[in-house]
């Protein structure tokens, strides 16, 4: 839903607001002080405005009917960001069959990143377009400290095997549900018959393709039996008075666990870059995509745009790859193949060139650029 509130601004200006919100609102709407508004946009202002305009309570996307000179534009921009994150806090985003991610709290935004950067680079222009340019510069050149000024705390429910990968990112503050202190969550991830993946032939820790649904029926049935039997044994142990710390030891890794996870934006983006990558395990990739596309994109939209352009959607080229691209661009494909053979990337077996893993990765980069690998032409 898109709510155009250009015509509502005068009514909102006339709304009785308690001090100091009234003063902050007045400054923001007349002087373009969007940052000041966001700093002082307290719960009483939000409550008063949402009571006057019920549409705002449904997480509407706010668009101005017309952009005024500074004041209306600044107010609407700040209001959109504040209301956007408020609508996310406490809302659970479902992942897998019984998992979720939920925003508990957050601190900072795109404006906080810009503000922190300008402490280093000095006061500059403060137009939104130039804020965007600064954020893109920071992302492009990997000036990461300003992004550390933003933090977010998430409540997550995920499977134990997925959590093992998640917790490898040691740059967060974590508190996990304790199955030593409390009873284990009575839920485990179940695999649909058509979702049993096959082992990758090229990547020892990856998968490719899947079993047919007919073949998968057997394994999904066996999985259901394992989940039921292990839970029954666990419950019997607890009923017999066996300590929770010992009773839990045979629970499957598909059992769900929950945790609070607090991390700064810089390290969160690193997590997303690794876990949204196509070769990441499917299950944790679902969580990363939910966090990225449904949370970070609304929390820090300018940073998210830069992240997609310069990190997630970008690719790196080694010195060798740049040299090979130069040869290909010059139409010297034969020399490129010879260089790859010298580097050990290609092994000739008769009339066939067998590429190494590094060569196959280079071929994937060439295909993204609309080029064919030289040994295939």
| Structure confidence by residue, pLDDT tens digits, 97-128 | 999 999 999 999 999 999 999 886 555 545 55
**Residues of the chain predicted below pLDDT 50:** 1-50, 52-53, 55-77, 80, 125
Q: What is the pLDDT of residues 195-221, one digit of tens each?
A: 999 998 877 788 888 999 999 999 999
Cα distances (angstroms) measured from residue 100 to each of 157, 159, 371: 5, 10, 40
Q: Which pLDDT score is estimated for 86?
A: 77
Q: Which pLDDT score is estimated for 129?
A: 63
Strands 92-95 and 61-63: unpaired
Q: State the Cα–Cα distance between residues 321 and 336, nearest whole angstrom.
A: 10
Q: State the Cα–Cα distance between residues 29 and 38, nearest whole angstrom.
A: 12
Q: Which pLDDT score is estimated for 376?
A: 80
Q: Which pLDDT score is estimated for 364?
A: 93
Query: Would the pTM count as exceeding 0.85?
Result: no
What are the phi and psi torsion angles at 300 (to 5°)? Answer: -135, 75
The residues annotated as belonging to the active site are 275
Question: Across-strand partners of 157?
Answer: 100, 258
């Amino acid at each position: 839903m898109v709510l155009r509130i250009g015509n509502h601004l005068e009514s909102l200006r006339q709304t009785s607001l308690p001090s100091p919100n009234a003063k902050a609102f007045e400054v923001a709407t007349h002087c373009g002080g969007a940052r000041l508004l966001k700093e002082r946009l307290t719960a009483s202002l939000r409550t008063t405005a949402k009571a006057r305009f019920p549409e705002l309570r449904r997480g509407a996307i706010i668009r101005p009917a017309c952009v005024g000179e500074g004041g209306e534009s600044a107010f609407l921009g700040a209001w959109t960001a504040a209301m956007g994150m408020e609508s996310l806090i406490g809302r659970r985003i479902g992942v897998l069959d019984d998992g979720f991610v939920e925003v508990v709290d957050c601190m900072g935004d795109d404006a906080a990143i810009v503000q922190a950067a300008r402490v280093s680079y000095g006061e500059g222009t403060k137009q939104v377009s130039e804020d965007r340019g600064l954020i893109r510069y920071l992302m492009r050149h990997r000036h990461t400290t300003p992004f550390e000024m933003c933090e977010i705390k998430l409540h997550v429910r995920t499977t134990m095997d997925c959590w093992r990968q998640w917790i490898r990112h040691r740059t967060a503050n974590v508190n996990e549900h304790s199955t030593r202190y409390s009873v284990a969550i009575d839920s485990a991830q179940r695999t649909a018959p058509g979702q049993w993946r096959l082992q990758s032939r090229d990547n020892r820790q990856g998968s490719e393709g899947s079993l047919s649904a007919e073949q998968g029926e057997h394994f999904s049935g066996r999985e259901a039996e394992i989940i039921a039997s292990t839970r029954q044994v666990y419950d019997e142990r607890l009923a017999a008075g066996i300590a929770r710390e010992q009773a839990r030891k045979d629970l499957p890794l598909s059992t769900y666990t929950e945790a609070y996870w607090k991390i700064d934006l810089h390290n969160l983006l690193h997590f997303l870059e690794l876990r949204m990558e196509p070769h990441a395990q499917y299950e944790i990739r679902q969580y990363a995509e939910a966090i990225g596309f449904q949370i970070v994109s609304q929390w820090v939209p300018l940073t998210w745009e830069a992240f997609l352009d310069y990190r997630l959607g970008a690719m790196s080229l080694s010195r060798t790859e740049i040299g090979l691209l130069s040869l290909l661009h010059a139409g010297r494909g034969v020399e490129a193949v010879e260089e790859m053979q010298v580097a050990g990337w290609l092994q000739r077996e008769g009339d066939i060139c067998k590429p190494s893993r590094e060569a196959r990765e280079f071929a994937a980069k060439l295909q993204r650029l609309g080029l064919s690998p030289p040994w295939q032409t």
